[in-house]
Chains A and B, each alone.
Chain A
Amino acid sequence: MRVPFKTSYLHDIRLFADGYRAAQYAVLVALAVLLPFVLDDFLIGEVTGVLIWAIAGMGLMLLTGHAGQVSIGHAAFLAVGCYANVILMDRFGLPFVTSFLLAGIVTGIAGVLIAIPVFRLHGIYLAIATLALSMLVEDIIVLAEPWTGGVVGLTAPSVTIAGMDMDRFSAPNRFYWLCLAIALLVTLGYRNILRAPLGRALLAIRDSEVSAQAMGVQLARTKAAAFGLSCLVTGWAGALLGHFFYTFNHEVFTVVVSIQLLLMIVIGGIGSIHGAFYGAIVVGIIPQAINIGRDWVTDILGTGGVAIPGLETGIFGLILVLFILFEPLGVHGRLTKWKIYFELFPFYRRDLFRRQRSYLKTERLR
């Protein structure tokens, strides 16, 4: 077992805990880069999807996992990023790199603008406001037909960077590398925010708004920053999603997607960057697993294919219920526990991760 012995503050905020950890991540990145040489085009497409959902998950994780503000409406920001990117490319003829960056910024600004009136809300009221927002955006997309193509939707133009074709269909490997690079940059930026004063302020707000305020954290400004950054990243994910889906309309960004995004980060492990990736992997695997399971059942029963509508969301919900009941820390929490079990062997105790129970007091005083 390695014992971290911190001798200075700089030591405490290092990007990687130690060289061993840094090497692990280096190997992981190397494997991810080499992946297209092993997998076929279909699987690479699936992995690309997982990466994009992981980016979106990181966007929501920053807001919900680290700043503690629950949003059930992040599909709205995915939509803003997606449409902004395609409109900037189609209408204004911008190259992908510029429109992609701008799409994120537009979404971030939209997020801050929305954050200002909802500042006074917290907890459950914020969740409801974002839920209503998600419903509204769905309808607004249909109404803004001259720009968004209404129910018909839009078609994403092909991606070229410096004359190199990056399209999802003609060059899936390059599109994968593009998504991988963006995911890595976002992860790096995210990690750095957490090390910076802003990240500490976010954690303080999550744990107690009153104490954070007492320590000199400006609530309004920090929450706005959290909202803005979260939407920036979500907008980027949305832009990539547009290219990934190729054609899309308002139905791609329903409230169910918002909820799925939230459930994804909970399954992955709320409050950790790892969690966003684990959650995306789980959500990416479930439909495939259900398909395989269905084929398997059909083979055994020897009947025609059984199609059960709603099976996917039902199983998804069930998995989530089980996670919340038995492993509230998600996949990341479970893996951490196993790791610590082996590192501390034989001194691991069951109560090592027992959470402090808190007795609720109402915020209503009537």
Chain B
Amino acid sequence: MDDLQLMVGGLANGCVYGLIALGFVLIYKATEQVNFAQGDMMMLGAFVAIGLGNESHAGLPFWLACIGAVTIMAGFGMAVERTLLRPLFGQSQIAVVILTIAFGFVLRFVAGAIWGHDPLVMDNPVAGTHVTFGQVVLGADEIAVIVVTLLLTGLLFLFFARTKLGIAMQAASQNQLAAYYMGIPVKRIHGLTWMLAGATAAAAGILFAAKGSVDPSAGLLGIKAFAAAVIGGFGSLPGALLGGLIIGLVEPFAARYIAAGYAQIAPYSVLILVLIFRPHGLFAQVRGKKL
């Protein structure tokens, strides 16, 4: 039964990783850029939600705060694309990588300056309530995390597979020039993608802050989420979720069954193993390069 309990906790954690990873994959799938600041955007989303919703801050009702945070972060994502990424349009991917790493540093500093460096918890209506299935105790927040993650992954998957905008996003990343010739406004598509990624980051942030606590260095969680995205195969939405769940499950089990100290290297060992044996992840999207 203990194992089952561990598994549920791991799944809930994994879902948060998966949600951040979704943001990475979203941007990569639609713009071929890699956003290393996604973890920090998650952190910022959490702080915005806390700033709007907590009693100690603006004190808005929970749902209003959630909607506000998602909207603000969507706008923030778009603004980032317009001011920072647009000038780099047509430059190498590596420039974007370095820019977003640096931008993450700036976000961490700004969040620390505004909200301080102490961990904060988001007030939420389900805090402290439990549901018991047999011998497994499930926090209501854990259930919420799992449900929201599955829902978001499903929605985004359908969005990319079925809607005109989703297909346009994929086209824009597959061949910018050809997409442009087909009448797709590639730059505007990039803006919309970042907007979507900002909203996803806010959702992940709210769940993260409601489930545990958030401080400015929470953005470093992005590295684990990154590992999740790579394990799943960068560019695959279900892969991102699966990768997140794998990391989320490996952590508590390693902590329980492997000697202390070795446990924390387990997620990265999994990542390196996956990279060695399946270099492009479990749901590989890459077939050899064509000219």
Residues of A within 8 A of B (CB): 70, 72, 117-118, 120-121, 123-125, 127-129, 131-133, 135-136, 139-140, 142-143, 210, 255, 259, 262-263, 266, 308-311, 313-318, 320-321, 324-325, 328, 355, 357-366
Contact = CB atoms under 8 A, between A and B. Distances in A.
B155 interface: no
Contact of A365 (B112, B279, B290): B290
B32 interface: yes
A333 B268 CA distance: 37
Interface string B99-137: 101111110111011000100000000000000000000
**Looking at A127, A142, A357, A364, which has the most chain B CB atoms within 10 Å of its CB?**
A364
A129 B272 contact: yes
Contact of A210 (B103, B177, B271, B289): B289
B159 to A, nearest CB: 17
Nearest to A124: B34
Contacts of A318: 102, 106
Given A317-B104, A359-B176, A362-B32, A128 B275 contact: yes
B257 interface: no
A324 B88 contact: yes
Contacts of A324: 88, 95, 98-99, 102
A365 B173 CA distance: 11
Given A136-B265, A210-B289, A360 B32 contact: yes
A120 B279 contact: yes
B144 to A, nearest CB: 30
Contacts of A72: 101
A320 B261 contact: no
A124 B174 contact: no
Contacts of B97: 70, 124, 127
A136 B272 contact: yes
B287 A365 contact: yes
B175 interface: yes
Interface in B222-246: 223, 226-227, 230, 234-235
6 contacts: A121-B279, A133-B268, A136-B269, A263-B98, A358-B90, A366-B287
A118 B272 CA distance: 9
Given A117-B276, A364-B286, A313 B105 contact: yes
Nearest to A321: B102
A132 B189 CA distance: 32
A158 to B, nearest CB: 32
Contacts of A313: 105, 108-109
Contacts of B108: 310, 313-314
A364 B98 contact: no
A321 B235 CA distance: 26
B272 A363 contact: no
A255 B110 CA distance: 21
Given A135-B268, A324-B88, A362-B174, A125 B94 contact: no
A46 to B, nearest CB: 23
A76 to B, nearest CB: 11
B15 to A, nearest CB: 21
B94 A132 contact: no
Contacts of B109: 310-311, 313-315, 317
Given A124-B234, A140-B265, A259 B101 contact: yes
Given A135-B223, A314-B106, A366 B264 contact: no
B251 to A, nearest CB: 13
A321 B84 contact: yes
A364 B32 CA distance: 10
B198 to A, nearest CB: 18
For the complex of A and B, list the 3 residue pairs with the smallest distance between their C-beta atoms, beginning with the closest. A314-B109, A317-B105, A357-B90
Given A359-B175, A360-B173, A121 B275 contact: yes
Nearest to B31: A360
Given A70-B97, A324-B88, A360-B176, A118 B275 contact: yes
Given A129-B271, A320-B99, 6 more contacts: A123-B93, A313-B108, A314-B108, A328-B95, A357-B90, A362-B174
Contacts of B95: 324, 328
B91 interface: yes
B173 A142 contact: no
Q: Considering residues A129, A210, A355, which has the most beta carbons from chain B within 10 angstroms of its beta carbon?
A: A129
A317 B223 contact: no
A356 to B, nearest CB: 9
Nearest to A211: B291
A253 to B, nearest CB: 15
Nearest to B110: A314
B90 A125 contact: no
Interface string B25-52: 0000000101000000000000000000
A116 to B, nearest CB: 10
A128 B227 contact: yes
B286 A317 contact: no
Contacts of B287: 365-366
B117 to A, nearest CB: 6
Nearest to A266: B98
Given A129-B272, A140-B265, A364 B235 contact: yes
